[in-house]
């Protein structure tokens, strides 16, 4: 698989490896320094223990053979190089056995020992100290202060040493200096091996981490690949494809859900366009056919002026019907897809329903239909869009007028029930058959009623508009009807107290 350097997957992998690399380097550096100081601390403690053992052994020899200078030199030579014999050798036999055992345990035979007088001049040195090395140790020796030991590093061509300088006193004389140097090769070997392990292991770990990072990146970006695959499947003919959110990380779910929501909105918009186009074509086909037919008849031969007036009148009526249909379709589109057109405000219901009542009387006047209103006088308020809420009730009342025979009555009843207002519009018209109750809010649905005058026929959008307005107001419209006795449309709205 070819690596694409400008891909998110590559960048994630590089970032992952880089962060891990920095962490490993810092962590390894801390461990290395910790090991370095730990090894040197152990070495210093070992040198300190050797110095004290040598100090105590020299003093023990002097306690056994005497505290004069000759005995002091003998004790130094015997303790450092195992040289010399003493007339009272049996006295120190047990002491020497103990010292020999400690020598093997402390491994002093491999160390460099130098004993200096208070002036810094060598008195006794171990056999492995040649003149050059002895000169370097003596030259760089530090006189301890305040009876404290001093540690220093001595760099040689082939070997570096860690050296301790410790004071020595006997019978109030001193301070003499005990120098013990030991090679740091074992420490350097351990540190070198540690560095080698770090230098080898970190690249291998990062290489493996890069491979794992690639797998993680592929796993993380899998939803993106699915989105791409889904996008390639989507056409204007089929917008039903969705990306599944199963086994998707939380952060990626936001992306997937946002994409699916966008497709849902697009699908809704396309469906709206298709519905609108279909509805317009369906509703304008008949009026346009009438206009065309009447016009063609009028043009076939000469007619008297009255016939032309009749044709023009019919065309005008059909044009008005088409304009009304288009306006209603546009309103439905706004109600369904542009809820921001609603401007909610606090409305006083007593005054509002009084206005509805007056409009209802006007609508019913031509058919000599009486209109009654039953409503409490208590001032009550509601949050609503006054313009559209008025249209909701007028559409219901207009529908009631259309299907109520001449001389009958329509009632508007308003009740307040706790946090709700219940408004019911009842008519004494032809009623609605039970099989049609679930269909009356569908767009362009018409009920064939023989008693209804042709001029009263609508476009089947009034109740659909009313239902859309009700939903925007968190309400619904319920219908009860008995054929031959009339219908009742009930609207329930949430109240807002002043």
* Whether 403 and 432 share a structural domain: yes
240 falls within a domain:
no
Instruction: Give 123-159 pLDDT, tens digit per residue.
Output: 888 888 877 777 777 776 665 555 678 888 888 767 7
* Whether 330 and 363 share a structural domain: no
* Whether 351 and 312 share a structural domain: no
* Whether 266 and 383 share a structural domain: no
CATH number of the domain within which 169 lies: 3.30.450.20
Q: Above 80 in pLDDT, residue 480?
A: yes
21 falls within a domain:
yes
* Whether 162 and 269 share a structural domain: no
243 falls within a domain:
no
DSSP 8-state assignment for residue 91: G
| Domain endpoint, select from 284, 310, 337 | 337
pLDDT range class, residue 385, cuts 50, 70, 90: confident
- Rounded CA separation 325/461 (Å): 8
- Rounded CA separation 413/374 (Å): 5
CATH number of the domain within which 255 lies: 1.10.287
Looking at per-residue pLDDT, the higher value among 52 and 293 belongs to 52
CATH number of the domain within which 439 lies: 3.30.565.10
Look over the chain and give the mean of its residue pLDDT values, rounded to a whole number.
81
219 falls within a domain:
no
Q: Which two tokens stand for residue 457?
A: 């026929």
* Whether 140 and 284 share a structural domain: no
pLDDT range class, residue 445, cuts 50, 70, 90: confident
355 falls within a domain:
yes
* Whether 348 and 286 share a structural domain: no
Mean pLDDT of 486-496: 88
Starting at the edge strand that comes first in sequence, how are the strands of the sheet with 476-482 ordered? 370-374, 409-417, 420-427, 486-494, 476-482
Q: Above 80 in pLDDT, residue 351?
A: yes
Q: What's residue 282's pLDDT?
A: 61
Looking at mean pLDDT, say which of 236-240, 263-267, 449-453 comes out highest: 263-267
* Whether 355 and 475 share a structural domain: yes
| Domain endpoint, select from 315, 337, 359 | 337
373 falls within a domain:
yes
Looking at mean pLDDT, say which of 105-109, 179-183, 311-315 comes out highest: 179-183
Q: Which two tokens stand for residue 369?
A: 């239909």
Which residues are registered as beta bridge partners of 166?
178
pLDDT range class, residue 414, cuts 50, 70, 90: very high
The pTM assigned to this predicted structure is 0.50
Helices and strands of the chain, counted as H and E runs: 11, 12
* % of the chain with per-residue pLDDT over 90: 16
Q: How many structural domains compose the chain?
A: 3
| Domain endpoint, select from 337, 371, 396 | 337
Q: Which two tokens stand for residue 450?
A: 């023989």
* Whether 332 and 363 share a structural domain: no
Element of type H or E holding 209 = helix 185-220
DSSP 8-state assignment for residue 437: T
Q: Above 90 in pLDDT, residue 63?
A: no
* % of the chain with per-residue pLDDT over 70: 84
- Rounded CA separation 243/256 (Å): 6
Q: Above 50 in pLDDT, residue 452?
A: no
Instruction: Give 398-413 pLDDT, tens digit per residue.
Output: 889 988 988 899 999 9
**Residue 47, domain extent:** 8-190
231 falls within a domain:
no
* Whether 331 and 396 share a structural domain: no
* Whether 307 and 418 share a structural domain: no
330 falls within a domain:
yes
* Whether 180 and 266 share a structural domain: no
């Amino acid at each position: 698989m070819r690596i694409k350097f400008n891909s998110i997957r590559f960048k994630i992998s590089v970032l992952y490896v880089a962060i891990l690399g920095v962490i490993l380097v810092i962590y390894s550096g801390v461990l290395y320094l910790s090991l370095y100081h730990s090894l040197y601390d152990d070495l210093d403690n070992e040198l300190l223990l050797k110095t004290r053992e040598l100090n105590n052994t020299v003093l023990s020899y002097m306690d056994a053979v005497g505290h004069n200078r000759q005995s002091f030199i003998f004790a130094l030579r015997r303790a450092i190089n195992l040289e010399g014999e003493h007339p009272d050798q049996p006295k120190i036999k047990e002491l020497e056995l103990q010292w020999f055992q400690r020598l093997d345990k402390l491994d002093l035979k491999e160390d460099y020992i130098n004993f200096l007088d208070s002036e810094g001049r060598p008195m006794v040195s171990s056999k492995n100290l040649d003149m050059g090395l002895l000169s370097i140790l003596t030259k760089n020796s530090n006189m301890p202060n305040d009876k404290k030991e001093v540690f220093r590093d001595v760099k040689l061509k082939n070997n570096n040493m860690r050296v301790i300088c410790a004071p020595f006193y006997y019978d109030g004389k001193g301070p003499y200096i005990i120098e013990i140097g030991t090679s740091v090769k074992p420490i350097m070997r351990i540190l070198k091996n540690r560095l080698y392990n770090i230098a080898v292991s970190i690249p291998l770990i990062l290489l493996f981490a890069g491979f794992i990072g690639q797998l993680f990146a592929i796993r993380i970006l899998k939803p993106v690949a699915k989105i791409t695959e889904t996008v390639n499947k989507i056409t204007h003919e089929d917008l039903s494809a969705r990306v599944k959110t199963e086994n998707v990380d939380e952060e990626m779910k936001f992306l997937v859900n946002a994409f699916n929501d966008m497709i849902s909105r697009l699908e809704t918009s396309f469906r709206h366009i298709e519905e609108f186009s279909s509805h317009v074509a369906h509703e304008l086909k008949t009026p346009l056919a009438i206009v065309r037919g009447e016009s063609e008849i009028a043009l076939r031969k000469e007619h008297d002026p009255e016939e032309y007036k009749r044709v023009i009148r019919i065309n005008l009526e059909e044009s008005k019907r088409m304009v009304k249909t288009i306006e209603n379709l546009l309103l439905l589109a706004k109600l369904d897809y542009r809820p921001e057109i609603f401007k909610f405000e606090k409305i006083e219901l007593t005054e509002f329903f009084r206005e509805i009542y007056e409009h209802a009387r006007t609508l019913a006047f031509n058919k000599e239909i009486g209109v009654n209103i039953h409503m409490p006088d208590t001032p009550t308020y509601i949050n609503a869009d006054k313009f559209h809420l008025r249209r909701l009730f007028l559409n219901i009342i207009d529908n009631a007028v259309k299907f109520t025979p001449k001389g009958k009555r329509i009632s508007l009843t308003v009740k307040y029930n706790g946090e709700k207002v219940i408004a019911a519009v009842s008519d004494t018209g032809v009623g609605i058959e039970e099989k049609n109750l679930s269909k009356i809010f569908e767009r362009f649905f018409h009920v064939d009623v023989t008693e209804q005058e042709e001029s009263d026929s609508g476009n089947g959008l009034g109740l659909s508009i009313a239902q859309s307005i009700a939903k925007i107001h968190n309400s619904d419209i319920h219908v009860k009807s008995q054929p031959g006795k009339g219908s009742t449309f009930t609207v329930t709205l949430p109240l807002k107290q002043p």
